[in-house]
Structure 1
Amino acid sequence: MKHVSIIIPNEAVLVAIGDPRYLFDTVNNFLEATGQPALFNVQLVGLTPEVKLINGSFSVHADALIGEVEHTDLIIIPALGGRDPRHAVEINKAYIPWLIAKHQQGAEIASLCIGAFLLAATGLLNGKECSSHWVLADEFRDMFPEVTLVDGRIITEERGLYSSGGATSYWNLLLYIVEKYTSREIAIKIAKYFALEIDRKSQSPFIMFNGQKKHEDEPIRKAQEFIESNLTEKLSVDELADKFAIGRRHFDRRFKKATNNTPAEYIQRVRIEAAKKLLEISRKNVNEVMYEVGYADTKSFRTVFKKITGLSPIDYRNKYNNEAVVA
């Protein structure tokens, strides 16, 4: 029997508490229907007997308090709510010593979506990879520079620590854990029952690149704005460095430090984000879009587009443009 502890953080996302419990209970039902014993003993674990969520609209009752859990095999950290991840971590910091102690005793820990902020606050992820919601990638890197954020990936696993990408992509992590603890056959049944796409690895198609501008390097911010305003121009990094009177190597270093992208990467990301928007809302074909965002070589455009989004331009257009599907 695997003991699963789903913690109830303050200001947690309600469904991210209920969904894992529902899933593991469903796995038990499937196993028992085939004559096998239930595998998961699932408990909701809290700091207090009752946690009120969504401004008091809902109450979640703990099955046990953290001090009452002698042994657990897997701890689930649900997504944290609110707009301020620092505040979310602060009001849940009482979990941190318990998470560290249980992991040292052999428990695995899985964070769902923005729950990664609480997991990272333990220090257990230092020097390791982690995923979270792409929309808070800049905040995560700022708060936890010793953790390698892979914001395009849906699932990470390293030494008994798991994380998932944004929003409902945590279902893919839960499926991954189910397969690891049971079998591929059971994971497929669960995927079909919940109408989930199994083995989805990337959240790249969902990422909207806005450009990291929450920094104090004014010349670099102006360089970013210049790039964004001159998509169709042939922009070279040397010319950008000269324009803002910064030596090339120093420009590269400052740009990377401020934006988490090299200048060349930033130019690509800005152009591809513009291409995505055109493919979503316009009737233009792929070549017309390519030229409009500053690419002249079809192969290069398609290669960069797929590298960043995980989809070809045609597949992306068919996925998000209703008019393209009808046509």
Structure 2
Amino acid sequence: MKKMTFLLADGLLKPSCLFAAIEVLEKANEFLVNQGNQPYYTIELAGVNLQQRLLNVSFSLQGVRHINEVKKTDVIILPSFDSPGDFAVSNSGDALDWVIRQYKQGAEVASLCTGAFLLAATGLLKGQSCSTHWKAEAAFRAMFPGLHLATHKIITDHNGLYTAGGAQSSLNLMLYLVEKYNGRETALYCAKVLQIDIERNSQSPFIVFEGLKEHADEEIRSVQDYIETHIEDKVTVDFLANRCAMNRINFSRRFKRATKISPVDYIQRIKVEAAKRGLEAGRKNINEVMYAVGYTDVKAFRMIFKKVAGITPLEYRLKFSRPDY
């Protein structure tokens, strides 16, 4: 048996994430019972502030326990929050201390989507890679600059700590846990009943790169603006450094200090984002899209596109372009 405790922190909860994750565990229990076994998961909700907010209203859940009543659990699930500013971190000190104590007693901890902010705030992720929703990337990097954020990953798993990307990626993490505890057959049953793509291994194709401009360095921001308005040009790091009257090393350090990524990565992500929009529109072939974003080498473009988007330009076009009817 696994005791699964969903932690309701003091913030604006995303109930779809909470209830969908619970449903995966319920379907796992259903499958195991149908196979003549006992249910494997016991599910409970625990928190500090037991009245939760949902958008502009409040709601109460029956049977929610105060965290002080939960002396020991096997797995803590941190669902996603949409609280302005810090995703419920500042109001959840007691809950985070409880998570740390439980982890030290042997509990595993899994964050879903922006629940990664709470897990990161415990300090338990130090030295490990983690994931969260790609739209929260800039906020996460600003709050936790010392952590290795890998937004392209669907799931991370290190030392009993798990994180998932956004939205449906959270369900992939729940399937991952079910497979780990109960085997592939159980996980496949849950995936089929709930119609979840169990083989998703990257959220890169879904990322919309938004620029990482939440910093105070005006000169670097002007460089970012230049990159974004000269998509069709072959922009190099040396060229940008010269525009700022800096040598390449100092410019690269300053750029990364402001944006948290290197200028090379930034240029590639901006160009690939523009290429994605071109492929979605479907009016140009892949070579035309490539030329429009400043690449002339098909092999290099394909390699960079796949590195950033997780799939090839052709695969992206087939997945996201408007079908012809």
TM-score by length of 2: 0.95
Q: 1:253 to 1:50 in 2, by over 3 A?
A: closer
Give per-residue Cα distances to partners, 1:266-297, cap 9 Å, x unaligned.
Answer: 21111111100111124100011111111101
Q: Distance in 2 between matches of 1:222 and 1:48?
A: 44
Deviation of 1:52 after TM superposition, in Å, equals: 4.1
Equivalent position of 1:102 in the other structure = 102
Q: Distance in 1 between matches of 2:309 and 2:184?
A: 28
Give per-residue Cα distances to partners, 1:283-316, cap 9 Å, x unaligned.
Answer: 1000111111111011111111111101111111
Q: 1:234 to 1:24 in 2, by over 3 A?
A: closer
Cα pair 1:52 1:60 within 8 Å, conserved: no
Deviation of 1:54 after TM superposition, in Å, equals: 2.9
Deviation of 1:99 after TM superposition, in Å, equals: 0.3
Cα pair 2:112 2:164 within 8 Å, conserved: yes
Cα pair 1:45 1:66 within 8 Å, conserved: yes
Equivalent position of 2:266 in the other structure = 266
Q: 1:49 to 1:57 in 2, by over 3 A?
A: closer
Q: 1:51 to 1:230 in 2, by over 3 A?
A: closer
- Tell me the SS of whatever aligns to 2:57: coil
Deviation of 1:74 after TM superposition, in Å, equals: 0.4
RMSD: 1.5
Deviation of 1:53 after TM superposition, in Å, equals: 3.0
Deviation of 1:62 after TM superposition, in Å, equals: 3.8
Q: 1:4 to 1:298 in 2, by over 3 A?
A: same
- Tell me the SS of whatever aligns to 2:200: coil
- Tell me the SS of whatever aligns to 1:58: strand
Equivalent position of 2:85 in the other structure = 84
Of stretches 57-66 and 30-39 in structure 1, the one that deviates more from structure 2 is 57-66
- The alignment status of 1:31 with 2:23, answered yes or no, reads no
Give per-residue Cα distances to partners, 1:208-267, cap 9 Å, x unaligned.
Answer: 112111222222111111111112222222222112211221111111111222222221
Equivalent position of 1:228 in the other structure = 228
Q: Distance in 2 between matches of 1:149 and 1:186?
A: 30
Equivalent position of 1:16 in the other structure = 17
- Tell me the SS of whatever aligns to 2:109: strand
Q: Distance in 1 between matches of 2:21 and 2:239?
A: 52
Cα pair 1:50 1:61 within 8 Å, conserved: no
Equivalent position of 1:116 in the other structure = 116
Q: Distance in 1 between matches of 2:134 and 2:50?
A: 33
- Tell me the SS of whatever aligns to 2:163: strand
Cα pair 2:131 2:154 within 8 Å, conserved: yes
Task: Supply the AA of the counterpart residue of 2:64.
Answer: D
Give per-residue Cα distances to partners, 1:7-62, cap 9 Å, x unaligned.
Answer: 12232111222122222122111111110111111111122444343333532234
Of stretches 227-236 and 37-46 in structure 1, the one that deviates more from structure 2 is 227-236
Cα pair 1:53 1:60 within 8 Å, conserved: no
- The alignment status of 1:153 with 2:153, answered yes or no, reads yes
Cα pair 1:17 1:78 within 8 Å, conserved: yes
Of stretches 176-185 and 137-146 in structure 1, the one that deviates more from structure 2 is 137-146
Q: Distance in 2 between matches of 1:97 and 1:219?
A: 40
Q: Distance in 1 between matches of 2:47 and 2:54?
A: 13
- Tell me the SS of whatever aligns to 1:90: coil
Q: Aligned pairs, how many?
A: 324
Task: Supply the AA of the counterpart residue of 1:230.
Answer: H
Q: How does 1:50-61 map to 2 (within 5 A)?
A: 50-61=51-62
- The alignment status of 1:295 with 2:300, answered yes or no, reads no
Equivalent position of 1:164 in the other structure = 164
- The alignment status of 1:326 with 2:324, answered yes or no, reads yes
Cα pair 1:268 1:304 within 8 Å, conserved: yes
Q: 1:240 to 1:50 in 2, by over 3 A?
A: closer
TM-score by length of 1: 0.95
Q: Distance in 1 between matches of 2:281 and 2:15?
A: 33
- Tell me the SS of whatever aligns to 2:123: coil
Equivalent position of 2:310 in the other structure = 310
Equivalent position of 2:137 in the other structure = 137
Q: How does 1:249-288 map to 2 (within 5 A)?
A: 249-288=249-288
Give per-residue Cα distances to partners, 1:117-168, cap 9 Å, x unaligned.
Answer: 0111111111111100111112111111232111110100111110100122
- Tell me the SS of whatever aligns to 1:7: strand
Moved over 4 A (4+): none
Of stretches 115-124 and 255-264 in structure 1, the one that deviates more from structure 2 is 255-264
Q: Which runs of 5+ in 2 are unaligned?
A: none
Q: Distance in 2 between matches of 1:126 and 1:231?
A: 36
Task: Supply the AA of the counterpart residue of 2:6.
Answer: I
Q: Distance in 2 between matches of 1:221 and 1:116?
A: 28
